[in-house]
């Protein structure tokens, strides 16, 4: 139940890996046949990725993953403009947060907007924060810890009216809800292959035509000079297949996965006392729920559940090495430290089953009770 | 038609053993290494194991290995990371024959108020070591030089370079993308500070590489975020890719002890065969001090690109310069730096062999190439 951390590769995607690895092994920059085959494969992948978000092929830049996409979008937009002001929120993924902080150290101004109790950033607050020198707004499409969907459509309109670039980290949104750059006119958008049943080590940045970015990796000039380095052809082809499947199955999957998530949530709230959902349940991606177990240390709960074979996350996987309460929940959404310490993220996916939930609920109430008793004693 | 692939400096086939090692991490063990549950720790364990293999290959500590998205990223991360750690130093030293991932970055940095010294090479492609020694200043932040050249296979004397640079306390970065897996690398004997390796040049997949960072080297992270790779390189680890790279190091280790001499013999056979069969053909660089797999040759009165096309038609894959710049019509910057006359540079072909190259493939090239060259040179003589 940790599909927001990563997902298994789908069988169809693995087939592509197998096929492309053996057939298109050339360097896409080489002029001979293996090189041309590789190049064709890469460009086919680019068209598919573009098609899955309503973009043109020329607007897709392949990267090594979501973090690189976010780094490229934010640092690249800033570097192309030398100085200015950036607007972000305090619930962003660390790749965005730390890129903004880095730019702050380089002399850029950064406004970090809070979110309300429901986990939303207020579009009006963004409009109010825009200054004449604002160059970029970066707000995630959906939050990795709570699943909250941000009002990206409104923000895109505001950004457009003010002629400010809008980047959205769609790493957690793509594959879970419809992501279409025609409908939501963002300028830059990051996705990561391994969050939607593609491989790790590949991602993409959508760059609306005409948007100027400075490359962050210099060299052979691949990816129209925006991102040098021999292209990960197999990764790109595999992610493209994952993109295609994600769009094809979105409607069906989101319905049954949401039902399962709702069932999980309802049963936990009913059967485990002193539990509470973080964020506004009405505007979330269909697979995620973040539940606080009051008086419980999420880290210990996670380990107890792991012993029983349940993979669940305390907060986001990237930060979970540290035993700190989530900044998203505390600073962002105003949870108390106790609530944030006891927050667990359940994220479901294609291979989740009702039986898993039944099994979980057989053990969860007792584990939580025991943890509460032992912490009360100590 | 079975193709004869002699362009292994551009990229290599993934070794079957490498793919086999990766497969479980594409299917069963797909966890995120940062996750605290067992699926996560299984993946983290695989990364640790790959890191051990990389460290064994480079003879370094595990903590000195940072996995990246490839050789170009490693080179960028090394140079920019050192510069950002020493913001007051504004001078960079490199050479005229580096890979674009170093040269293009340096050109970019020149626009950002950095001063770059490009050390020249002689006609054999060898670095002017006196010039290097003279160029080191108080203001020098980093020296970045390649170990093996991608176009000519020329090997720089990194040991001598270490002796020159180290006493000054200036970090030395070595682009070992072409050297790794072709000549031994031992960071205990050769005390470089940073070293870049790319997976797909040694039969691991594309999209993974590493940066060796000697303990104590000051380096700012390049891609920032979740703090993976001990904060050096953020982003969910490419677990299968990293596992593949680890396996590739293991295979390279045994190739270096038992297979590389076969490659060298085949390369020598190919080269001497061509030089003896084709009039006025000559070698770019000297026969010694080269990677064992690379042969860069030039021919009179032919266009390298035309030779490549005709070879490609019969399934022989070679390269005219580096793959990264083959789209361009400019003659190779490496050959230019070696003072190869422009018409000879335009008539240059690079053959790069691998552990999978067979004798009959070399024989086939020796049979097919001479008539192609002779035909093309006649055409250009009459035209």
A186: number of Cβ within 10 Å:
25
- Contact state of A230 with B319 under an 8 Å Cβ cutoff: no
Q: Is A7 on the interface with B (CB under 8 A)?
A: yes
Least confident of A115-129, A301-315, A331-345: A331-345
pLDDT digits (tens, 9 = 90+) for A3-50: 999 999 999 999 999 999 988 999 999 999 999 999 999 999 999 999
Contact with chain B for residue A35, Cβ under 8 A: yes
Tell me, yes or no, whether B225 lies in a domain: yes
Residues B252 and A272: their CA atoms lie apart, in Å, by 55
Taken as a whole, chain B contains a residue count of 383
Are residues B251 and B267 part of one domain?
A: no
pLDDT beyond 80 at A146: yes
B383 domain residue, yes or no: no
Domain that holds residue B283: 4-12+259-372
Answer yes or no: do A6 and B30 touch at CB < 8 A: yes
Q: How many Cβ atoms from other residues are within 10 Å of residue A255's Cβ?
A: 11
- Closest listed residue to residue B197, CA positions, set B322, B354, B57, B71: B71
With a cut of 50, which residues of chain B have pLDDT below it? none
- Are residues B205 and B345 part of one domain? no
State residue A318's pLDDT score.
Answer: 47
| Residues B115 and B171 reside in one and the same domain | yes
Determine, yes or no, domain membership for B377: no
Domain boundary among B194, B221, B255: B255
Model confidence at A266, in pLDDT bands (50, 70, 90)?
very high
Contact B200 A230 (CB under 8 A): yes
The answer on B141 and B265 residing in a single domain is no
Helix spans in B205-303 (H): 239-258, 260-277
Report, as residue numbers or ranges, the catalytic residues of A: 318
Please state at what angle helix B260-277 crosses helix B359-382, rounded to 10 degrees: 30
Contacts of A314 in chain B (CB under 8 A): 36
Q: Is residue B218 part of a domain?
A: yes
B160: helix, strand or coil: helix
Residue A250 CA, chain-centre distance (Å), reads 16
Do B249 and B281 share a structural domain? Answer: no
- Cα separation, B188 vs B283, whole angstroms: 34
Q: Do B98 and B185 reside in the same domain of the chain?
A: yes
A161/chain B closest Cα distance in angstroms: 30
Kindly determine whether residue A31 and residue B326, on different chains, have CB atoms separated by under 8 Å: yes
The domains located in chain A, with CATH, are 11-246 (3.40.640.10), 250-377 (3.90.1150.10)
| pLDDT score recorded for residue A315 | 62
pLDDT above 90: residue A118: no
> What integer is the mean pLDDT of A180-199?
98
The mean per-residue pLDDT over the stretch A285-289 comes to 97
CB contact, 8 Å: B350 with chain A?
no
Does a structural domain hold residue B379? no
Asked whether the beta carbons of residue A95 and residue B239 sit closer than 8 angstroms, the reply is: no
CATH number at residue B263: 3.90.1150.10
Question: Given this model, what pLDDT does residue A375 score?
Answer: 82
Reported as a pLDDT band with limits 50, 70 and 90, residue A320 is very low
Retrieve residue B370's tokens. Answer: 């001479």
pLDDT of residue A25: 94
How many domains in chain B?
A: 2
Q: Report yes or no: A321 at the B interface, CB cutoff 8 Å.
A: yes
Q: Please tell me if residue B9 touches chain A, with a CB cutoff of 8 Å.
A: no
Does residue A219 belong to the interface with chain B, where contact is any CB pair within 8 Å? yes
Q: Tell me which residue of B75, B71, B52, B79 sits closest to B63, measured CA to CA.
A: B52
CB distance from B375 to chain A under 8 Å?
no
- What is the least distance, in Å, from the CA of A150 to any CA of chain B? 21
- Measure the CA–CA gap between A93 and A70, rounded to whole angstroms: 9
CA distance, residue B263 to nearest chain A CA (Å):
20
CB contact under 8 A, B227 and A94: yes
Strand B115-119, strand B91-95: pairing = parallel
Give me the pLDDT at residue B322, please: 54
Q: What is the mean pLDDT of residues A143-163?
A: 96
| Top-ranked range on mean pLDDT: pick from A297-301, A373-377, B259-263 | B259-263
**Residues B344, B233 share a domain:** no
Q: Is B85 on the interface with A (CB under 8 A)?
A: no
DSSP state of B29: -
**What does the alpha-carbon distance between residue A334 and residue A320 come to, in Å, rounded to a whole number?**
20
- Closest residue of A to B35, CA-based? A317
| B71 neighbourhood in chain A, CB within 8 Å | 229-230
Q: Among all chains, which residue has been given the structure tokens 């990206």?
A: A152
Same domain membership, residue B169 and residue B77: yes
- Contact between A84 and A135 under an 8 Å Cβ cutoff? The reply is yes
Would B75 be classed as within a structural domain?
Answer: yes
Q: What is the pLDDT of residue B328?
A: 56
**How many Å apart are CA A27 and CA B10, to the nearest integer?**
6
Q: CB B11 to CB A26 under 8 A?
A: yes
Which residues is A292 bridged to in the sheet?
A276, A343
| Single residue among B255, B286, B317 that ends a domain in this structure | B255
**Whole-structure pTM value:** 0.95
The complex's ipTM works out to 0.94
Q: Does the beta-carbon distance from A217 to B72 stay under 8 Å?
A: yes
Predicted pLDDT at A328: 75
Regarding beta strands B209-213 and B282-283, do their DSSP bridges make them parallel or antiparallel, or are they unpaired? unpaired
DSSP state of B230: G
CATH of the domain at B203: 3.40.640.10
Same domain for B250 and B111:
yes
Residue B332 located in a structural domain: yes
- Using a pLDDT cut of 90, give the percent of chain A over it: 88
Query: Which of B175, B324, B334, B354 to probe by mutation at the A interface, max A CB count within 10 Å?
Result: B324
Which of B239, B255, B271 terminates a domain? The answer is B255
Q: Find out whether B262 and B357 touch, Cβ atoms under 8 Å.
A: no
pLDDT digits (tens, 9 = 90+) for A328-351: 777 777 788 888 889 999 999 999
pLDDT given at position A317: 46
Cβ–Cβ below 8 Å for B34 and A318? yes
CA distance, residue B246 to nearest chain A CA (Å):
16
Q: How many Å lie between the alpha carbon of B8 and the closest alpha carbon of chain A?
A: 9
**Which residues from chain B sit within 8 angstroms of residue A305, using beta carbons?**
37
CB A24 within 8 A of CB B14: no
Q: Which residue intervals of B97-238 are DSSP H helices?
A: 100-111, 129-135, 158-165
Do B263 and B205 lie in one domain? The reply is no
Instruction: Show Cβ contacts of residue B310 under 8 Å, excluding neighbours closer than 6 positions.
Output: B372, B376
**Structural domain contains residue B316:** yes
Burial of B3 (0-12, 13-18, 19+ CB in 10 A): middle
Q: Which of B70, B311, B312 sits opposite A229 (nearest CB)?
A: B70
- C-alpha to C-alpha distances, A41 to A26, A167, A181, A237, nearest whole angstrom: 10, 28, 24, 7
A190: which DSSP letter? E
Residues B349 and B251 in one domain: no
Confidence at residue A322, expressed as pLDDT on a 0 to 100 scale? 54
Domain check: are B304 and B242 in the same one? no
* Residues of A with Cβ-Cβ distance to B37 under 8 angstroms: 2, 302, 305-306, 310-313
The answer to whether residue A223 neighbours chain B at the CB level (below 8 Å) is no
């Amino acid at each position: 139940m940790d599909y927001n951390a990563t997902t298994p590769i789908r069988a169809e995607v693995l087939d592509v890996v197998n096929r492309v690895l053996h057939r298109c092994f050339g360097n896409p920059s080489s002029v001979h046949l293996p090189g041309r085959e590789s190049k064709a494969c890469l460009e086919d992948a680019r068209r598919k990725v573009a098609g899955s978000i309503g973009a043109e092929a020329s607007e897709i830049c392949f990267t090594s993953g979501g973090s690189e996409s976010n780094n490229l979008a934010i640092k690249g937009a800033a570097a192309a403009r030398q100085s200015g002001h950036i607007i972000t929120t305090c619930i962003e993924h660390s790749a965005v947060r730390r890129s903004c902080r880095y730019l702050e150290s380089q002399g850029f101004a950064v406004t970090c907007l809070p979110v309300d109790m429901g986990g939303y950033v207020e579009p009006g607050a963004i409009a109010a924060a825009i200054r004449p020198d604002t160059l970029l707004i970066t707000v995630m499409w959906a939050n990795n810890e709570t699943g909250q969907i941000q009002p990206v459509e409104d923000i895109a309109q505001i950004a457009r009216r003010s002629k400010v670039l809008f980047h959205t980290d769609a790493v957690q949104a793509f594959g879970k809800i419809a992501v279409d750059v025609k409908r939501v006119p963002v300028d830059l958008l990051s996705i990561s292959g391994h969050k939607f049943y593609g491989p790790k080590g590949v991602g993409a940045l959508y760059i609306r035509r005409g948007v100027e970015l400075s490359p962050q990796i210099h060299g052979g000039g691949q990816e129209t000079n925006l991102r040098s380095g021999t292209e990960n052809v197999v990764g790109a082809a595999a992610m493209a297949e994952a993109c295609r499947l994600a769009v094809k199955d979105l409607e069906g999957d989101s319905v049954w996965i949401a039902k399962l998530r709702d069932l999980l949530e309802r049963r936990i709230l009913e059967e485990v006392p002193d539990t509470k959902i973080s964020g506004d349940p009405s505007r979330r991606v269909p697979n995620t729920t973040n539940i606080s177990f009051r008086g419980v240390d999420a880290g210990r709960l996670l380990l107890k559940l792991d012993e029983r074979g349940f993979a669940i996350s305390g907060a986001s996987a990237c930060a979970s090495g540290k035993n700190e309460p989530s900044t998203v929940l505390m600073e962002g959404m105003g949870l108390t430290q106790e609530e944030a310490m006891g927050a667990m993220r359940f994220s479901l996916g294609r291979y989740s089953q009702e039986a898993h939930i039944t099994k979980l609920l057989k053990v969860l109430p007792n584990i939580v009770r025991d943890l509460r008793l032992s912490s009360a004693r100590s | 038609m079975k193709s004869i692939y002699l362009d292994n400096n551009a990229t290599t086939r993934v070794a079957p053993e490498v793919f086999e090692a990766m497969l479980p991490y594409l299917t069963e063990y797909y966890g995120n290494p940062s996750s605290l549950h067992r699926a996560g720790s299984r993946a983290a364990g695989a990364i640790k194991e790959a890191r051990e293999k990389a460290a064994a290959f480079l003879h370094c500590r595990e903590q000195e290995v940072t996995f990246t998205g490839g050789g170009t990223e490693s080179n960028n991360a090394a140079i920019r990371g050192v510069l950002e750690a020493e913001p007051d130093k504004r001078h960079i030293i490199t050479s005229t024959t580096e890979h674009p991932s170093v040269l293009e970055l340096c050109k970019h940095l020149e626009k950002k108020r950095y001063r770059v010294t490009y050390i020249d090479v002689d006609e054999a492609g060898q670095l002017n070591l006196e010039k290097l020694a003279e160029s080191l200043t108080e203001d020098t932040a980093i020296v970045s030089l390649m170990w093996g050249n991608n176009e000519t296979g020329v090997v720089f004397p990194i040991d001598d370079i270490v002796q020159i640079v180290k006493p000054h306390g200036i970090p030395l970065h070595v682009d070992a993308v072409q050297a790794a897996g072709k000549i031994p690398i031992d960071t205990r004997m050769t005390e470089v500070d940073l070293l870049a390796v790319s997976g797909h040049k040694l039969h691991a997949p594309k999209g993974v590489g590493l940066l060796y960072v000697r303990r104590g080297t000051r380096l700012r992270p390049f891609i920032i975020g979740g703090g993976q790779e001990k904060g050096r390189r953020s982003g969910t680890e490419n677990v299968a890719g990293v596992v593949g790279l680890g396996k590739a190091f293991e295979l390279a280790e045994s190739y270096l002890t038992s297979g590389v001499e076969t490659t060298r013999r085949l390369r020598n056979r190919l080269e001497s065969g061509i030089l003896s069969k084709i009039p006025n053909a000559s070698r770019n660089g000297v026969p010694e001090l080269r990677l064992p797999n690379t042969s860069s040759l030039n021919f009179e009165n032919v266009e390298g690109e035309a030779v490549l096309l005709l070879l490609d038609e019969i399934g022989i894959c070679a390269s005219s310069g580096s793959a990264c710049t083959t789209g361009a019509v400019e003659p190779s910057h490496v050959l230019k730096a070696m003072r190869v006359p422009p018409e000879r540079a335009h008539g240059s072909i690079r053959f790069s062999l691998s552990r999978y190259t067979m004798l009959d493939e070399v024989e086939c090239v020796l049979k097919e190439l001479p008539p192609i060259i002779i035909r093309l040179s006649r055409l250009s003589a009459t035209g």
